[in-house]
Structure 1
Amino acid sequence: MPSPTPSRRTFAAAVAATAAATAGLAATPSAARAQAHESEFRPARLRPSRRPNILFILGDDLGWADLSSYGSPHIETPHLDRLARQGVRFTDAYSGSATCSPTRFSLYTGRYPGRTEGGLAEPIADRSAGLEPTHPTLASLLRDSGYSTALIGKWHCGFLPDHSPTKSGWDEFFGNFSGALEYYSKLSGDGSHDLYEGDAEYKDLRYYTRILTERAGDYVSRDHGGKPWLLNLNFTTPHWPWVADGDEEAGAEIARRIRAGDRRALWHEDGGSIEKYKEMVEDLDRSIGEVLKALRRSGQEDDTLVFFSSDNGGERFSHNWPLAGNKASLQEGGIRVPNIVRWPARIDGGQVSHVPVFTPDWTATLLELAGARRHPAYPLDGVSLAGYLLRGEAAPARDLFWRVRGERALRRGDWKYYRGRSGRDQLFNLAADIREQADRARTEPARLAELKASWERTDATLLPYPG
């Protein structure tokens, strides 16, 4: 895939119509409005800036095409669309894995999940695994370089007493430890209460997204004593159960089932709908808009790098078209996610990039932008995009690698090697076939062999799955 070379504050953007054709965007009014603001080249506005504050926002199980700016035909996300117009929208961005906790491992460590024992859980479902406090993280490395650090929302990288954000570099934590909770009672699947401030339980029976939004707004508005800050804001929206703001009765029924011992109550397999999912995604968008408004009022907007993404592809009510597969799969629908980056002081708005990137790249990028030192004993698997973003360098050319139990995938340029649970090696040209339906394995055997060998070389360096 050709890699455009941007100037100091601009990306080389492709024409919006080409983006729509390549990415399969639906021709909705909201998508058209968003694309109308995306431009090609523009002169750089040079001005000095300090190390950025970092507001890193994750949605939970949000699909690649669930935002109106990414082509959703029925969901309206004006606040995230505005964020995209003010920054860069990535069309070929990926999560570090296909489920919640391994992607979070890849973000916090900048490494493949399979480098650590806790990352082998896909996802963490009990108290036997977690992110070891001795492992350097994005937060610990930024804190060592003078940042204030906080995590608000879903942690999902292990449980107390051995694992927590405050043991892994975050000065402050407010949120939940497990992979999901009921939005009002804060009960997790095993019936335990799962809302904490630091390492102490905290009671608040309001709708969870409202609480996280309020906390995040307070954090970005605070006086940090002149120090730059990192806030990981990890919403659980729109992860199941399908409970929107105002659905107290639905939440109470799920909580009753949890207390009665129903371990699958949170999965809400007998509930939800496309309309309920739309309601939850649009609430996520409004909530992010509130946090961004608080940031603007604080006077820190220009010097704050805001990043938005999802931890993996969409779930059962997500709009994944034209992608195949969904959460837990290494097909495009399971790992391709929205990525939006805005930093007004340094990055021009209205840009679109088709460069393939994935979660560990952003760890490396943020460490470089913050001037943080990497730990030599824990080399990163991500590649910094700072040169591409800010210095006019070519986008990094390398392979993107994924591994989950029963599946493997590797992307190099436009080409993707994939082996699903059938055990059959497949090869797709994503530029021509984003839906992964035209298997080129027979017509391109040498390319298939080359990509497969590259995948196996990387896999040999990772921890094996436990038997």
Structure 2
Amino acid sequence: MNRMKPLLFALLAIFAGSNWAAAAEESSNAERPNIVFILSDDQAWTDYGFMGHPEIQTPHLDDLARQSLLFERGYVAAPLCRPSLASMVTGLYPFQHGVTGNDVNGSQDRAALDVPLRAAFHKHPSMIKTLVANGYLAHQSGKWWEGSWKDGGFTAGMTHGDPKRGGRHGDAGLSIGRKGMQPVTDFIDQAVAQEQPFFVWYAPFLPHTPHNPPQRLLDKYTQPGRAADVARYYAMCEWFDETCGQLLGYLDEKKIADNTIVVYICDNGWAAPSTNAHDPNQKLWKGYAQRSKSSPYENGIRTPIMISWPGHVKPQNSPDLAHSIDLFPTLAAAVGADAPDDLPGINLLDAEARSERKRVFGVCHSTHNMTVGNPHDTLQYLWCVEGDWKLLLRYHGKDTTKYHNLHVWDKAPVRLYNLSDDPHEQQDLTAMHPDVVARMTEAIKTWYAQSNGSSD
């Protein structure tokens, strides 16, 4: 009997230890915040109530802005959905992760030609895979270019990504919002029942075309003197806002809002493809208004970025610059996960890091002719924002193996704007401020070279 005591004590210790480990894991899961990542699709940075638009009403996003660390001066890495989303997911610039446009060069069968590009892209660490590796359930809905939700590392989702079934850029996932929210709310129910922290990728095809808003909203925005397509776009912006209200309201209903980080950003800007009643200088050009989507101007690359986390993030309107590449390191730090050390972004919840940032950068590539393995081949513009200044630099490199050499830039035209005085970039100040042009041009050259592993 005495010889059984040590064995009994050992078994009890093992049992107690396993229970302690399970309790510790359960406690850890309970403490880690959920994450809801909201992405609008094709919405200009001005087109929200909280950003001061005189007509468009976005009451739910306005409420979120009041509860958030709000960056009115947020930027995306590229003015087009696919490279922009890829940069959010990886925390890298398009020329680093390789997705620079929407289509591979010569894409007759676009989905099939995407396969080698996606294979290379998914080798990079991602925000989603990092969260899942740290115990998160993750759901994909809406816009998603890089294969299926499984390919992206999600644990559940809507997009199948099968080329044989027309799978591309979201397929079945694009119904979210337009046809209800049940796939997302069902996932939230499951995660809550399993007592696991969750990540929701909510990227509805809104306010993107087709502009087919509910008639009640279209009637609201239709008025004499306003172009029909503008009225439809305005109505779509409010429709998107309503779906955000449904999602955020469900967090309240489930009593989990206080333990949920909500992130908001738009993939790229947009302006109605016609003469705009509020901007008579906006002219139609190849399907998009000039200086909007697919351009390096503010209407292409600027977006409000907001982060809400009750009890952890103080609501305030920050004057600091924010960037889409910051979201991966920010969320990793918030949940105690390890992001790659070499990511170029910062933790937006770190006030000191924000204050030390002097500039943000980005690119603009051709829209429809990516060259797999050569992300510099279709580069058109690089841009830099420094304080109130913004510089656009046209890239004229022909020998793409020497993209970082200074001769590539010698005859590249530039445009300089003061965004404080001229937020819609109407007056080029290049001739008036050659010192600013020289300083920011050199900053762009240095950033681009270093980002590509060159010290030249």
2:307 corresponding residue in structure 1:
341
Give the residue type in structure 2 aligned to 1:172.
A
Q: Contact 1:409/1:417 (CA < 8 Å) preserved in 2?
A: yes
* Structure-1 separation of matches of 2:246 and 2:294: 31
1:424 corresponding residue in structure 2:
413
Partner of residue 386 from structure 1, selected from 349, 373, 387: 349
Q: Contact 1:96/1:106 (CA < 8 Å) preserved in 2?
A: yes
* Structure-1 separation of matches of 2:359 and 2:169: 39
Q: Contact 1:325/1:331 (CA < 8 Å) preserved in 2?
A: yes
Q: Contact 2:79/2:293 (CA < 8 Å) preserved in 1?
A: yes
Q: Contact 2:143/2:204 (CA < 8 Å) preserved in 1?
A: yes
Partner of residue 212 from structure 2, selected from 243, 259, 265: 243
2:158 corresponding residue in structure 1:
174
1:408 corresponding residue in structure 2:
382
Q: 1:207 to 1:103 in 2, by over 3 A?
A: closer
Structure-to-structure mapping, 1:47-446, within 5 angstroms: 50-117=31-98, 119-122=99-102, 126-127=110-111, 128-129=113-114, 130-131=117-118, 132-157=121-146, 163-175=147-159, 177=161, 192=166, 208-211=176-179, 213-222=181-190, 223=192, 225-245=194-214, 273-316=229-272, 325-349=291-315, 351-375=316-340, 379-388=342-351, 395-405=355-365, 406-419=380-393, 423-446=412-435
SS of corresponding position for 1:218 = helix
Give the residue type in structure 2 aligned to 1:399.
R
Q: Normalised by the size of structure 1, how large is the TM-score?
A: 0.70
* Structure-2 separation of matches of 1:148 and 1:459: 36
Q: Contact 1:152/1:212 (CA < 8 Å) preserved in 2?
A: no
Give the residue type in structure 1 aligned to 2:58.
T
* Structure-2 separation of matches of 1:375 and 1:339: 22
Deviates more, 1:92-101 or 1:208-217: 208-217
* Structure-2 separation of matches of 1:415 and 1:361: 21
Q: Normalised by the size of structure 2, how large is the TM-score?
A: 0.72
Q: How far off is 1:207 after superposition?
A: 5.9
For 1:309-368, what per-residue CA distance to the aligned partner results, in whole angstroms no more than 9, with x for missing partners?
Answer: 21001132698969982111111111111222211121233x211211110111111111
Deviates more, 1:140-149 or 1:394-403: 394-403
Q: 1:421 to 1:451 in 2, by over 3 A?
A: closer
Q: 1:139 to 1:452 in 2, by over 3 A?
A: same
For 1:265-319, what per-residue CA distance to the aligned partner results, in whole angstroms no more than 9, with x for missing partners?
Answer: xxxxxx9612211222111111110111111111110111111121001132698
1:264 corresponding residue in structure 2:
none
Consecutive unaligned residues of structure 2, counting only runs of 5 or more, are: 1-29, 217-226, 283-289, 366-379, 397-411
For 1:124-178, what per-residue CA distance to the aligned partner results, in whole angstroms no more than 9, with x for missing partners?
Answer: 6723234432221101111112222121111023xxxxx3331232111213759
Give the residue type in structure 2 aligned to 1:365.
T
Q: How far off is 1:83 after superposition?
A: 1.0
Aligned length: 365
* Structure-1 separation of matches of 2:250 and 2:74: 28
Q: 1:143 to 1:275 in 2, by over 3 A?
A: same
* Structure-2 separation of matches of 1:208 and 1:230: 16
* Structure-1 separation of matches of 2:48 and 2:158: 27
* Structure-1 separation of matches of 2:238 and 2:165: 29
SS of corresponding position for 2:384 = strand
Q: How far off is 1:123 after superposition?
A: 5.7
Give the residue type in structure 2 aligned to 1:415.
W
Q: Contact 1:213/1:288 (CA < 8 Å) preserved in 2?
A: no
* Structure-2 separation of matches of 1:438 and 1:451: 18
2:12 corresponding residue in structure 1:
none
Q: Contact 2:145/2:168 (CA < 8 Å) preserved in 1?
A: no
Give the residue type in structure 2 aligned to 1:170.
F
Q: Contact 1:328/1:334 (CA < 8 Å) preserved in 2?
A: yes
Q: Contact 2:142/2:175 (CA < 8 Å) preserved in 1?
A: no
SS of corresponding position for 2:435 = helix
Q: How far off is 1:450 after superposition?
A: 2.1
Q: Contact 2:87/2:97 (CA < 8 Å) preserved in 1?
A: no
* Structure-2 separation of matches of 1:90 and 1:436: 20
Q: Contact 1:135/1:168 (CA < 8 Å) preserved in 2?
A: no
**Structure 1 runs (4+) greater than 4 angstroms displaced:** 122-125, 193-196, 317-324, 420-423, 461-464
Give the residue type in structure 2 aligned to 1:70.
M
SS of corresponding position for 2:124 = coil
Give the residue type in structure 1 aligned to 2:122.
P
1:160 corresponding residue in structure 2:
none
Q: Contact 1:122/1:404 (CA < 8 Å) preserved in 2?
A: no
For 1:188-212, what per-residue CA distance to the aligned partner results, in whole angstroms no more than 9, with x for missing partners?
Answer: 9x9936698xxxx86x9x9652445
> What RMSD, in angstroms, separates the aligned Cα atoms of the two structures?
3.3
Q: Which has the higher helix share?
A: 2
Q: 1:226 to 1:207 in 2, by over 3 A?
A: closer
For 1:204-223, what per-residue CA distance to the aligned partner results, in whole angstroms no more than 9, with x for missing partners?
Answer: 9x965244522222223332
SS of corresponding position for 1:84 = helix
Q: Contact 1:88/1:341 (CA < 8 Å) preserved in 2?
A: yes
Q: Contact 1:383/1:396 (CA < 8 Å) preserved in 2?
A: no
Consecutive unaligned residues of structure 1, counting only runs of 5 or more, are: 1-48, 158-162, 179-187, 248-270
Give the residue type in structure 2 aligned to 1:410.
C
